[in-house]
Every structure is written in C-alpha cells, then in structure tokens.
Amino acid sequence: MPSLKFIPDDRLVELLLLVPGERKVANVQSDGSELWEHVEAAQPAEVNAGLRAARPFYSAKSVLMPVSEVIARYGRAEGDPLDEAAQATMAVIGVRGCECRALAYLDKVMLDEPMADPFYEARRKNATIVGVDCALAADSCFCNLLGETAYPEVNFDVNLSPIGGGLLAEAGSEKGELVMAEAASLLSDATAEQVAERDAMRQRTAEQLASQNADYEFPEDFVESLPTTLEELFWRVELGNCVQCGGCTAVCPQCYCFLMFDRGSGEGAYERARAWDSCQFTGYSQMAGPPGTVKPDPRRDHMSKFQHRFAHKFWYNPLIMGILGCVGCGRCADTCPGGIDLRKVLSQVNTEYARHG
C-alpha cells in the first residue's frame, strides 16, 4: 500500500504549487460557482472548498482535448502547433475517480494503434494529474451502478482524500513520488485514526450513491440486452425530449469526436483547426457525394442518432474495446434541457430485456 501522508488545510496550496506544470488548473468553488481556475489566481479556501465539493459540472477533458485548437499552419503562417503543444506543461488538480477512469478510456482511443493522436499524446505526457476522493456525490452520479468507486484507483500521480483539518495524500506514479518527496517538509505520516476517517468518508459516499440510485437497475450484460430493446416504445418517448443540442457529449469526459476545417489567418496565411463535434448534431454522419445530390448519411433520422449514443457507450465499446464508454458521472443528465437521465433509460432497457428474455 502506498505511503499515506497528511497535509493540513493551510498548507494545501503550498503543496499544489510544487506540482510540476507551467499551467496549474484546479477545481475551485467561488461564490457558489464551480470553476476550473489557475491555482495562483484562486484563494486557498476556494481551492479547498472545490476539493471537498461534489464533482464539478465541467470535466477536465478540455485541458487535454481543447474545445478547439490549431493543428497545422501553411502558406505564410509560421510556427508548428505540435511543437507548441509539446512544450507546454500543466497540472490538473481535483480530478475525480470517474474522470481518472475516463482518462484510461481516452488513452485507449487516442494513443493505441494504429496511430496515436500527437496533440493528445503531447499533453498527456506533459500533464500531472492530482486526483481527489468524492467526499460528496452529486445527485446525478451513478458510478456505483457500473461497479465503480467514488475515489481514484488508476491514472493519477497524486491523490488527495479530504478529512477533518486537512487531506491525506498518496502517490500513484513515479512523478507523484517526486512531488511527495519535494513536499516532504509540508507532510507528516498519516495516523491510523486519519486513515480510518478517510475510509469512513469513502463509505459514507458509497452509501449516499446506493441510496440515491436505489430505484435504478442496470442490465448485467449491455451487449446482449441493449440491441434487443432498440424497437421498444420507451426509446421514442425519450427521443421526444431530445433537442439535439449536443450538451450531453460536450460535458461527457469520454466523448472525443471532432470536426476539422481550414480557415484563413492573415494574408496568404492559413491554418487547419479542429473543434469538438457531436454525434447528436444534424449532419454529423453525412458523407461526401456528387454535386446536386442528397448526400449519403447512415444516421440521417433523429432516432438513429439518439440511439447511437447509447449503443456506442454500452454496446459497441464493450464488444470491440472491452470497456464501457461511460463512467457514471451523470453530467449528461445535468446539462440536458429535456431532462433525459441515462439511469432511467438503461433501467428501462433492463426492464424490457427482462420482460422479453
């Protein structure tokens, strides 16, 4: 078991400032708002409050995969965007367990064969991840229904566990060990009582999740159950609430689709950029075709787009990649203007599959 250390609340920011990265962003709470903000610009109390609050509305995905970015310059444009990305270092502070698991998924998509995405690869290599236990779950969180915990177990360099008067810190990588070593003067060995307090906090969060999700029941095998129910009426009922705004995919820590386009950047200068895209947008799956013809689109109708989001996360991904495309953070329900709750939809899948099984 990694060595656990205690950092008092009033020394926390000192510890965070030792984390490597020219850009250090933390989940903070200020005037009731949840923000990702530079540590240097935030008050220590705001940083501490952010780490003790429920997971923020926005995930940290945008730090590693910006909403939009330039990926090439040509003509008279100067500078290599990849060199710029490779030189930037950052620290992301306050990454919850669900988002650490989301990083494992993004790593698989963006770094595995046949070819790694060089921009994501550069940022991932240069990022230090500071995780934090969920001392409080958001009302829409449901990681427990996917068999997961409300604290980081993978993909963190340092993890923090809020307890009374401070936080327990542990390293999860060699990079994290170096941070802990540099901060040795700020840290003390965790006592048995402090470790017990951390364990009790984790148990309280687990009980909160079990209570708020007691009315939902997911299928044991999504690959078998979900495709069996695609013709059921409840899909059309839920579809009626969808306005194709794309909010669900924007806040999802695992959605990664993007659209590339070229634009001018000055006289004789041009750049190629990419921006987040959504499988829920009209035209997302439209293909090229002869001028004057209707362009082929395998998912032209609204229902096919709506169901694709669920099929991708709970059918195609487990079947092809051996991993779910969802970590149970519940952000999609928070942002949906139609009130579509993934927990409800998947529980309906389970009910219909049980009825027809």
Is 331's pLDDT higher than 70? Answer: yes
Arithmetic mean of pLDDT over the chain: 92
How many folded domains does the chain comprise? 2
**Please, which pLDDT band fits residue 298 given cuts at 50, 70 and 90?**
confident
Q: Are residues 143 and 250 in the same domain?
A: no
Q: What does the pLDDT read at residue 1?
A: 46
Same domain, 141 and 268: no
The pLDDT assigned to 314 comes to 97
Spatial CA neighbour of 64 closest among 114, 30, 21, 15: 21
What are the φ/ψ torsions at residue 113 (nearest 5 degrees)?
Answer: -60, 155
Name the pLDDT band for 241 (thresholds 50, 70, 90).
very high
Q: Which domain holds residue 318?
A: 222-356
Q: Are 93 and 158 in contact (CB under 8 A)?
A: no
Buried b / exposed e over 254-271, threshold 16 CB at 10 Å, is bbbebeeeeeebeeeeeb
Give just the sign of the alpha carbon dihedral 109, 113, 114, 120: positive
Asked whether residue 217 is domain-assigned, the answer is no
pLDDT tens digits, one per residue of 94-152: 999 999 999 999 999 999 988 899 999 999 999 999 999 999 999 999 999 999 999 99
pLDDT tens readout for residues 249-261: 999 999 999 999 9
Is the Cβ–Cβ distance between 97 and 149 less than 8 Å? yes
**What does pTM read for this prediction?**
0.91
Same-domain status, 35 and 73: yes
Is residue 171 domain-resident?
yes
What is the bridge-based pairing of β-strands 127-132 and 90-95? parallel
* Mean pLDDT confidence for 8-15: 94
Considering the domain architecture, whether residues 170 and 283 belong to the same structural domain is answered as: no
Q: Determine the average pLDDT of the residues in 70-80.
A: 92
Same structural domain, 61 and 208:
yes
**pLDDT, tens digit (0-9, with 9 covering 90-100), for 261-293:** 999 988 899 999 999 999 999 888 888 888 778
Whether residue 203 is found in the same domain as residue 241: no
Residues 63 and 91 in one domain: yes
Are both 300 and 344 inside the same structural domain? yes
CB 198 within 8 A of CB 133: yes
Which of 189, 212, 235 marks a domain boundary? 212
Res 27: pLDDT:
81
Structure tokens at 132: 């934090």
Tokens 């090439």 correspond to 72
The domain boundary residue, chosen from 212, 245, 269: 212
247 and 199, same structural domain? no
Residue 304, phi then psi, degrees to nearest 5: -65, -35
What is the pLDDT, as a whole number, of residue 299? 82
Q: What are phi and psi of 94, to 5 degrees?
A: 100, 30
Length reported for the chain = 357
Residues 202 and 209: their CA atoms lie apart, in Å, by: 11
Q: Is the pLDDT of residue 36 over 80?
A: no
